Amino acid sequence: MSGPHGPDAPGRPGQAEAAARALSFGTDAAGYDEARPSYPEALVDDLLAGAGAGPVLDVGCGTGKLARQLTARGASVLGVEADERMAAVARSHGIAVEVSRFEDFDPAGRRFALCTAAQAWHWVDPVAGPAKAATALVPGGQLALLWNLREQPDPAVTAAFDACYRQLAPELAGTTMVLGGPPEARGLEAHLDLVTASGSFVDGEVRRYRWQTRYDTAAWRALLSTQSDHRLLDPARRERLLDGAARVVDDLGGVLDIAYVTLALLARRRADEPAGAGASVGPDQQPAGGAG
């Protein structure tokens, strides 16, 4: 596959690399749990307002960052997670998890009012994913695909990190999503088109929640270390890159104020369509990945 929407485009891993990146987070599950941000409270409120008191299925729940926010509000959440190491951390926080790729998950007759996927849907097959979500949701149930994305950073800050990455990991310079990523890698809204093209979902809607947070040098270094493209680097090289990035933050005064937008792609399970019925999607319709 080639062209601006193929996996070889900047920020778009090829299939083998994508598979390795999808399961890279578990190589330091505790570090992921510690360093990654959670999700805006207003978003969590909105999701649960739409779900009523019904059960929630959290796809690619990882260490349970979103699942914990949902359970803290009284929701009953089941996580589906491909990586046992991530699932173990989620379970240590009291989250029920079944270890499975979502594509292979067996709902076994269970039906959920809300199906969430936070920072995870781009690792799920774009045809099998919507079909499986349709099977797992009650009629009218909501699918919510979520990503924390960086707003366009300050050009001076970008330039400082770019210089560091060009020197220490040129293959990540200008592509890694943690630094903002290339504009063409931000086509995540296309995932909503694929969900509605499946024929099983209606009322597609895009919402954005803006927020910001502050990282000190250690927290920023730890966050970078959780990124899938950084995790695939040789460990010694990764350490040199992280040390270099830490020096950049120190030179900027030891703190980084990062503006995020949480992108929420929402759709409702059709009430009148049998689960699994829907249009197929060609490989060139695969949307952007590389967000995590």
Residues in contact with ligand SAM by CB under 6 A are 22-23, 25-26, 36, 59-62, 65-66, 80-83, 86, 101-103, 118-120, 123-124, 292
- Tokens at residue 1, please? 């596959």
**Which residue from 73, 68, 81, 138 is spatially nearest to 110, judged by alpha carbons?**
138
Q: Which residue is nearest to ligand SAM (CB)?
A: 62
Smallest separation, CB 128 to ligand SAM (Å): 9
What's 173-230 look like in SS3?
CCCCHHHCCCHHHHHHHHHHHHHHHCCCEEEEEEEEEEEEEEEEHHHHHHHHHCCHHH
Say how far apart CA 37 and CA 14 lie, in whole Å: 27
Smallest separation, CB 81 to ligand SAM (Å): 5
Residue closer to ligand SAM, measured from CB, 43 or 66: 66
Residue closer to ligand SAM, measured from CB, 25 or 220: 25
What residue type is assigned to position 245 of the chain?
A: A
Residue closer to ligand SAM, measured from CB, 39 or 201: 39
Smallest separation, CB 121 to ligand SAM (Å): 9
Smallest separation, CB 23 to ligand SAM (Å): 6
Q: How many CB atoms lie within 10 A of CB 165?
A: 20
Residue closer to ligand SAM, measured from CB, 221 or 270: 221
Q: How many CB atoms lie within 10 A of CB 124?
A: 23
CA distance from start to end of the chain:
21
Smallest separation, CB 58 to ligand SAM (Å): 7
Residue closer to ligand SAM, measured from CB, 102 or 161: 102
Say how far apart CA 183 and CA 185 lie, in whole Å: 5
Which residues partner with 210 through β-bridges?
261
Smallest separation, CB 144 to ligand SAM (Å): 12
Residue closer to ligand SAM, measured from CB, 33 or 168: 33
Q: How many CB atoms lie within 10 A of CB 123?
A: 23
